[in-house]
Amino acid sequence: MYKVMIIEDDAKISSIISEYLTKWKFEAYSTTEFENLETQFLAIKPHLVLLDINLPVYDGFYWCGKFRQLSNVPIIFISSRDQNMDIVMAMNMGGDDFIQKPFSLEVLLAKMNAILRRSYTYQQEDQDFLEHKGLILNISKATISYHDTEMDLTKNEFQILYLLLKKKETIISRDELMQALWESENFIDDNTLTVNIARLRRKLEELGLPEFIETKKRQGYIIP
């Protein structure tokens, strides 16, 4: 049974989400105290976090950054904010998806199930590593390493790199990546994929692989 941590200061919304997820056999943990979320996060060890942006004390961006220092657990932002900058900020801080209030509980559940399948199915793969040109992708740990330097990946970064490595020397279109990441491009802003690609490239460049992923204009991406 998957554990979901709900970080939402509107008690009514938090209760509605919790009750709905419980009916679908999730273990839902609603937060009522917002000062020691790291401690609660470590105690619960959730498989997924639903995170509002507007919170008491510190906002959701702050807590997303803190959680990313501790874990690669999937994080879905749920917020009434609708500016592109907020969505970009959420992805840059390590969020895996963004859903705007008011939202359908059915859509929320579909997004959660899609992310949980992506995040935890790969742990059952027979192959533990993918290697190309000295870069090693650790499938079970969601890390990359090169010349003895290791770096963590978010769930989206891992999925993008996994797909590109599995089909190396083949162009993968943006539509194909979005389908794999979010099940249906109807639920995703094209901007979000761009942000995740850019963030992954920065990590590869920090490892010493600045040209590892190439852009093919009007076609997609390739690892040659």
For the segment 94-106, what is each residue's pLDDT rounded down to a tens digit? 899 999 988 999 9
Q: List the domain range (segments joined by +) for residue 116.
A: 3-122
pLDDT surpasses 90 at 147: no
Q: Are residue 64 and residue 106 in the same domain, yes or no?
A: yes
Angle at 198 between CA 221 and CA 127, to 5 degrees: 60
Q: Are residue 116 and residue 214 in the same domain, yes or no?
A: no
Q: What is the pLDDT of residue 75?
A: 95
Q: What is the mean pLDDT of residues 84-93?
A: 87
In the chain, pLDDT over 70 holds for what percent of residues?
93
**Residue found by looking up tokens 């705007």 in the block:** 100
Strands 143-146, 149-152: parallel, antiparallel or unpaired by DSSP? antiparallel
Residue 85's Cβ-count burial label (10 Å; 0-12, 13-18, 19+) is exposed
pLDDT surpasses 80 at 158: yes
- As a whole number of angstroms, the distance between CA 115 and CA 168 comes to 23
Q: Are residue 112 and residue 164 in the same domain, yes or no?
A: no
Q: CB 26: neighbour CB atoms within 10 A?
A: 21
Q: What is the pLDDT of residue 18?
A: 96
Q: Distances in Å between the alpha carbon of 128 and those of 115, 203, 208?
A: 20, 21, 23
Q: What is the pLDDT of residue 127?
A: 58
Q: What is the pLDDT of residue 214?
A: 95
Q: How many domains does the chain have?
A: 2
Q: Are residue 129 and residue 113 in the same domain, yes or no?
A: no
Q: What is the mean pLDDT of residues 31-36?
A: 90
> Quick one: which H or E segment has residue 145?
strand 143-146
Q: What is the CATH number of the domain that holds 195?
A: 1.10.10.10
pLDDT band at 118 (very low <50, low <70, confident <90, very high): confident
pLDDT surpasses 70 at 16: yes
Q: Are residue 134 and residue 181 in the same domain, yes or no?
A: yes
Q: What is the mean pLDDT of residues 45-66?
A: 94
Which of 67, 101, 122 corresponds to the end of one domain?
Answer: 122
Looking at every residue in the chain, the average pLDDT score rounds to 88
Q: What is the pLDDT of residue 185?
A: 42
Q: Quote the tokens at residue 53.
A: 């942006």
Q: What is the pLDDT of residue 55?
A: 93
pLDDT band at 144 (very low <50, low <70, confident <90, very high): very high
Q: What is the mean pLDDT of residues 4-12?
A: 96
Q: What is the mean pLDDT of residues 38-45?
A: 91
pLDDT surpasses 60 at 122: no
pLDDT digits (tens, 9 = 90+) for 181-199: 765 444 556 778 888 899 9
Where is pLDDT greater, at 124 or 183? 183
Which of 79, 107, 122 corresponds to the end of one domain?
Answer: 122
pLDDT surpasses 50 at 117: yes
Q: What is the pLDDT of residue 176?
A: 86
